[in-house]
């Protein structure tokens, strides 16, 4: 028997079998399905993804699962914000039809041993460098959980935020390589009135840190403009790095301008094709990432 919780306005399922039963029923009615995977602690950025999925499909499933395989032991898995009741309310308001909120045991039964790596140092691929260098655990974990979720939901379309641009590239590559038929769609980053990219991790920022965080997008926009006027990229990246430190960021992991389609560096050291500027920088214990088209 299918077990669907209805405590909130939004039906919630916790097992893959129950998820599939609901989706099967929709399919029988001839309805198309959209999917938005999340780790919860939802904000307007996530809700935009849900609305985007709703424009592309008759029914939208969202998942809330704080995926342990994408966190390194020293990272914030334990303190990652968890607020399911609030998330369910927000999702219902954005037009989501079903919340899939599995347990860790449901997603990773004890016997599971399969891993996924999207490329390698020798084969290349979108997981190399940038986030892949500073968070080597992450993209294997993301690829694994997203492959599982896409297989579990079997949606027509899945929507991912461009805020995690490299993740979007990794997911696209993985879905292509594994013949996953769900269409992968990227949705533009939502920003606050000061241009700060919305992120669940912004909740960690103090007021003073938030002021500094709001300067990240301006530094990237300025560097992007310099790059698109053909200034040599090493100089542009170096200046942007210094500008972030001057703005008050305590540490900068990277500022890089890469080819937008595969995140490879520009061989000639200038922008001669569609490009993306990407950065990661620290404020206290909070690591912020952002990116934008150049």
> What does the binding site for ligand PAF look like in residue numbers (CB under 6 A)?
37-39, 67, 70, 142, 145-146, 164, 167
CB of 9 to ligand PAF, least distance (A): 22
Pairing relation of β-strands 12-13 and 98-100? Answer: parallel
What is d(CA 25, CA 10) in angstroms, rounded to the nearest whole number?
17
Tokens 């008050």 correspond to 248
CB of 179 to ligand PAF, least distance (A): 20
CB of 229 to ligand PAF, least distance (A): 33
- List the catalytic residues: 46
Nearer to ligand PAF, 142 or 175 (CB): 142
What is d(CA 230, CA 232) in angstroms, rounded to the nearest whole number?
6
Nearer to ligand PAF, 167 or 182 (CB): 167
CB of 268 to ligand PAF, least distance (A): 33
Q: Which residues pair with 158 in a beta bridge?
A: 35, 184
Nearer to ligand PAF, 37 or 126 (CB): 37
SS3 146: helix
**In sequence order, what are the residues at sequence separation of 6 or more whose Cβ sits closer than 8 angstroms to the Cβ of residue 196?**
202, 210, 213, 214, 216, 217
CB of 150 to ligand PAF, least distance (A): 10
**In sequence order, what are the residues at sequence separation of 6 or more whose Cβ sits closer than 8 angstroms to the Cβ of residue 262?**
126, 169
What is d(CA 195, CA 291) in angstroms, rounded to the nearest whole number?
12
Distances (CA, A) of 218 to 122, 141, 194, 215, 290: 35, 31, 9, 5, 11
Nearer to ligand PAF, 162 or 237 (CB): 162
Nearer to ligand PAF, 142 or 219 (CB): 142
């Amino acid at each position: 028997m299918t077990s669907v919780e209805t405590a909130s306005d939004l039906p919630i399922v916790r097992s893959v079998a129950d998820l599939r039963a609901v989706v099967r029923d929709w399919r029988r009615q001839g309805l198309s399905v959209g999917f938005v995977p999340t780790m919860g602690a939802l904000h307007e950025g996530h809700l935009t993804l849900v609305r985007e999925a709703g424009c592309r499909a008759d029914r939208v499933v969202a998942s809330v699962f704080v995926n342990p395989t994408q966190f390194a032991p020293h990272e914030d898995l334990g303190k990652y914000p968890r607020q399911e009741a609030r998330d369910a309310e927000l999702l219902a308001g954005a037009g989501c039809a079903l919340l899939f909120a599995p347990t860790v045991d449901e997603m990773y039964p004890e016997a599971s041993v399969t891993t996924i790596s999207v490329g390698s140092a020798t084969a290349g691929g979108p997981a190399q460098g940038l986030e892949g260098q500073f968070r080597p655990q992450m993209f294997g974990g993301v690829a694994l959980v997203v492959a599982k979720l896409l297989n579990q939901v079997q949606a027509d379309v899945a929507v991912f935020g461009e805020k995690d641009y490299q993740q979007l590239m990794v997911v696209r590559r993985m879905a292509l390589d594994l013949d996953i038929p769900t269409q992968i769609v990227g949705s533009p980053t939502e920003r606050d009135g000061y241009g700060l990219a919305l992120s669940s991790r912004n909740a960690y920022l103090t007021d003073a840190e938030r002021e500094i965080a709001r300067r990240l997008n301006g530094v990237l926009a300025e560097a992007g403009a310099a790059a698109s006027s053909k200034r040599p990229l090493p100089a542009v990246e170096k200046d942007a790095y210094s500008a972030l430190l001057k703005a008050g960021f305590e540490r900068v992991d990277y500022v890089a301008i890469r080819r937008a389609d595969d995140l490879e560096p520009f061989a000639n050291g200038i922008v001669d094709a569609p490009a993306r500027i990407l950065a990661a920088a620290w404020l206290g214990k909070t690591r912020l990432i952002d990116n934008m088209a150049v």
